[in-house]
Amino acid sequence: MKRYFAFFVLLSVFFACNSYKDLPSLEFTNDWKVQRVPASQQLTGGDPVAGLEYMTTGDYIGSGVPLAAFKRLPKVKDTILNRSGVNATFPIGIMAFDHANGTKVFSGNCLTCHGGYIEGQYIEGLGGLEQDFSKDRSFLFKLLDAKVKMKFKEGSKEREAFEIFSSINKRAMNYIVTPFKGVNPAFRLEETYVMRRNPVDLTLKEEDNYELDKHTLASDVPPWWHIKKKNGLYYNGMGRGDFTKLLMQASTQGIKDSTEARAIQKRFVDVFAYISSIEPPAYPKNINYDLAAIGRPLFEKKCSGCHGTYGAEETYPNKVVSLDVVKTDPYYARNFSTKKHLADWYNESWYGFSSPVSEVIPLDGYIAPPLDGIWATAPFFHNASVPTLEGVLNSTIRPTYWERTDQYNYQKLGWKYKQKEKAMSKKVYNTTIPGYSNKGHYFGDAFSQEERLAVIEYLKTL
Ligand code: HEC
Ligand code: HEC
């Protein structure tokens, strides 16, 4: 037994090692500067209240860990969602639900990653980066697997309710260890969830559909109040067409097939209604409106062309900006645009061919996001590499190595951080690693410091 233990540990370490040699080529030139993402038809008319309830108690992950595997589960008081039953004592990011065979199981839910806090205050729709994905969880999933197998007989309902969740996650954990805390590998999870699914009916198969490089792709978590304005989801705007389908991608973690997916998609009309109902939070401190009035025309001159206008006349141009122009780290965009593994799978799959149709169209660029509630969404850029908004507008002050604290800086708009000499621990964001660079977006560099502070003051009003 001891020997096996060592074997497992070695294996986990082997898979966790990041190697950079198989990265997609980061050299390229685009023959376009900006592409507008057209609007697509959406399924409106859902019920936001039912959507939140389904999102935090529903069966859309399909399978999970049988509750009965544990004699006692840790209890917390959920004062945010006020759910009932077992869910009343689970953290907001965990939920219990019934597997199709009647077994009570639990799993994570959307709020595992999308439930964000600032200084202890829950902010609806804000993404959170508190989870530490630099910890290798593959061993944990192996232990969980062993526990369930020991407790329940082969052929039991509990084993059936656990099987897909377990097999998919055990593999996925090998691909998602991030080089440090403070980034979220959700898309790499998705890439591994569908790696062994038949595109047509979403059932599991034996062989991989494609290869993934071992360098962990991870990003920031965008706030949900953007999706009212965005025509293309995700940092590169590649999520097109029907949003209910794009929103339910986490289901590929544990569902059996496309028959289950279809039933879930119908419920996601409500989830989409809930997410679309979320408003950006108002800046909670005092604003100097005289200074903001100086910042506004500067913003409209230098920034609105990409980010839109705010206030009485709202506009949002939905622009994907070429990597040549924005110059932020190319790895994320190139991961999807060069190999097209995920796009090819998705577009041929149930998600792509059955109505309502959705699509993945990766481009070599990033979408210029709406800036509503921007005061709350630090760190910035798709890879969460810049801790403050002041740093977004002044590239010379961006720290190379930084460690986030739990305190928010309401003046510079972002996380208070400690600047480091090098990456001493996994708590330190290391911008020298491919995919995590803090370069690019030099559009605020030409401002004088006075102008910059005026623009920041204006951004607090959005
Ligand atoms: C493991 C963490 C994780 C889970 C679980 C998760 N998400 Fe996300 N979500 C992310 C990350 C990270 C992104 C950014 C992905 C990107 O753009 O590359 C994202 C992007 C999104 C977006 C696009 C927002 C935009 O502005 O483009 C929506 C909408 C969304 N998620 C909804 C959901 C819903 C609904 C669920 C539950 C069914 C869910 N997510 C589960 C991490 C997660
Ligand atoms: C040419 C188009 C363009 C212009 C001009 C532009 N931006 Fe951006 N902006 C982008 C793109 C694209 C991104 C996303 C980059 C990324 O995530 O890698 C971005 C990101 C940002 C972010 C970070 C958003 C987040 O949630 O992480 C902020 C803040 C921002 N821009 C503010 C401004 C301000 C203020 C100006 C004016 C000085 C400006 N931008 C000018 C295209 C532009």
Cβ of 174 less than 6 Å from ligand 1: no
Tell me if 333 CB under 6 Å of ligand 1.
no
Confidence of residue 12 (pLDDT cuts 50, 70, 90): very low
pLDDT at residue 14 in the model: 39
Give the distance (Å) from ligand 2 centre to CA of residue 380. 9
Closest ligand 2 atom to Cα of 325: 1
Higher pLDDT among residues 315 and 13, named by residue? 315
Residues near 175 by beta carbon (within 8 Å), at least 6 away in sequence: 15, 185, 188, 189, 191, 192, 212, 214, 216
225-to-288, 453, 457, 461 alpha-carbon distances in Å: 25, 25, 21, 15
Q: In the structure, what pLDDT confidence band is assigned to residue 253 with cuts at 50, 70 and 90?
A: very high
- pLDDT exceeds 80 at position 4: no
Q: What's the pLDDT at 21? A: 54
Please list, in sequence order, all residues whose beta carbon lies within 8 angstroms of the beta carbon of residue 126, skipping any fewer than 6 positions away.
Answer: 114, 115, 116, 117, 118, 223, 281, 376, 377
How far apart are the C-alpha atoms of 61 and 71, rounded to whole Å? 23
Give 220 Cα–ligand 1 centroid separation in angstroms. 10
pTM above 0.85, yes or no: yes
Region 145-150 average pLDDT: 96
Please name the residue whose Cα sits nearest to atom 41 of ligand 1: 110
List pLDDT tens digits, range 222-250. Answer: 999 999 999 999 999 999 999 999 999 99
- What token pair was written down for 68? 């009965």
- What's the chain's average pLDDT? 93
With beta carbons less than 8 A apart as the criterion, state whether 245 and 351 touch. Answer: yes
**CA angle (132 as vertex; 129, 134 as ends), nearest 5:** 125
- Give 289: exposed, middle or buried? Use CB within 10 Å, 0-12, 13-18, 19+: exposed
- What is the pLDDT averaged over residues 6-12? 42
Q: How far is the CA of 245 from the centre of ligand 1 (A)?
A: 12
- Indicate if ligand 2 lies below 6 Å from the C-beta of 307: yes
Q: Given this model, what pLDDT does residue 76 score?
A: 87
| Closest C-alpha to 176, from 162, 191, 166 | 191
Per-residue pLDDT, averaged over 253-280, amounts to: 98
The confidence score (pLDDT) of residue 215 equals 86
The structure tokens listed for 372 are 């509503």
Statement: residue 1 has pLDDT above 50: no
> Token pair of 142, please?
């192996």
Q: Does residue 283 have a pLDDT over 90? A: yes
What are the pLDDT digits (tens) for 419-452?
A: 999 998 999 999 999 999 999 999 999 999 999 9
Percent of the chain clearing pLDDT 70 (strictly above): 95
**Residue to mutate, 32, 309, 326, 447, ligand 2, most ligand atoms under 8 Å from C-beta:** 326
The model's pLDDT over 335-390, given as tens digits with 9 standing for 90+, comes to 999 888 999 999 999 999 999 999 999 999 999 999 999 999 999 999 999 999 99
Q: Indicate if ligand 2 lies below 6 Å from the C-beta of 306.
A: yes
The stretch 258-264 carries a mean pLDDT of 98
What's the first-to-final CA gap in the chain, in angstroms?
Answer: 59
What's the CA gap between 235 and 184, in Å, rounded? Answer: 13
